[in-house]
Amino acid sequence: MPELANLADLAHVHLLLNHFPTIGMILALGLLLLAFMRKNDHLKKVSFEVIFLIALATLPVYVSGQAAAEALKGQAGVSAEAIVSHNDAALGSFMMMELTGFLAWLALWRIRRAGRPTTGLTYTVLILTVLTVAAVARAANMGGDIRHPEIEGGQYAGWFGTSAASGGFISAAGIKDFVLQHPFVWPTCETLHFLGMSLMFGVLLIVNLRLIGFLRGMSFAAVHRLLPFGLMGFGVNFITGMFFVIAASEQYTQNVAFHYKVLLLILAGVNFLVLTVYDEAWSLPASADAPLSGKLLGASALVLSVGVMYFGRMLPFIGNAF
């Protein structure tokens, strides 16, 4: 398996990508506010799509941050405390980001049935987007404190005080201790990870086999109803997967199989978004065949999800062993 990136590359990836969540969510918030001002439902839909994509892009930002922390470990001029505070703030904002992304997806999914964005969900996404912008900007600001000598030295205390002073209730070290000190946690998470995977893949199977044309006689609108179960399975796997990454990050950050897994996961996420909003197929009746673009979309969804499973299962065998 060819290497994608070493630890130093990943630290660069982190520096490259780490502005996307903050700037992306500010842009998404602007779009959403504009949509409210213009009373434009289509623009609301676009805002939800942007929020989903930014939430997806935040995944490599968070995991590359773990690699960056390892690359910086023990280097002169780097505050270990600042890294810990940044990591905790990042984890909190990451959780909010994913919750917002999930609800933005739910809003997109509801549009299919309701015909327009529903009020309650739209306002919930708006409020969560505001909170996420604040949380992610705080995390980014604290990340900047890790090594920027020009703003250190007492003249600049940072908008949020010194980084080391933060003591939020989300602590990556606390999660790590919880997972590693209780022998039941890891196997339980593994079991849930396999159950979530089966649920998610079952939904992808029925939806995409319909798109490809293997399953017939059901309308796309009918299978569209099952999509939330797929995202529910993904949610279980996202949470349990984060437990693994936080508890044993060095097992993953330098594992080429994990790099491929994250890459395929992002592609699968984009595929899932396209699938959710794919108008050409969802309006077709039960007897109709999907256009070629739909068949390709369905086939790539199945290939990508099998690929994610493959690299997950191969984590202990490709690259560094556990």
Partner 1 sequence: MLTSLEQSSFSTWLLSSNSIWAYPTVLTLHTFGMMVLVGAALMIDLRLLGFGRGIPLQSIDRLFRVMWGAFALNAVTGTMLFVADASKRGPSLIFWTKLSFVAIGLVMAVMIRRRNFESGAEPVVISGAAKRLAIVSLLAWSAAITAGRLLAYVA
The contact set with partner 1 (CB under 8 A) reads 186-187, 190-191, 194-195, 197-206, 209, 214-219, 221-223, 225-226, 229, 286, 306, 309-310, 313-314, 317-318
Instruction: Write out the two tokens for 92.
Output: 């909190």
Nearest distance in Å: CB 1, partner 1: 9
**CB closer to partner 1 out of 33 and 318:** 318
Rg (C-alpha) for the chain, rounded Å, is: 21
Nearest distance in Å: CB 194, partner 1: 5
Length reported for the chain: 322
Nearest distance in Å: CB 294, partner 1: 17
**CB closer to partner 1 out of 36 and 194:** 194
Nearest distance in Å: CB 57, partner 1: 26
**CB closer to partner 1 out of 160 and 310:** 310
**CB closer to partner 1 out of 60 and 196:** 196
Nearest distance in Å: CB 321, partner 1: 11
**CB closer to partner 1 out of 92 and 319:** 319
Task: Show Cβ contacts of residue 296 under 8 Å, excluding neighbours closer than 6 positions.
Answer: none
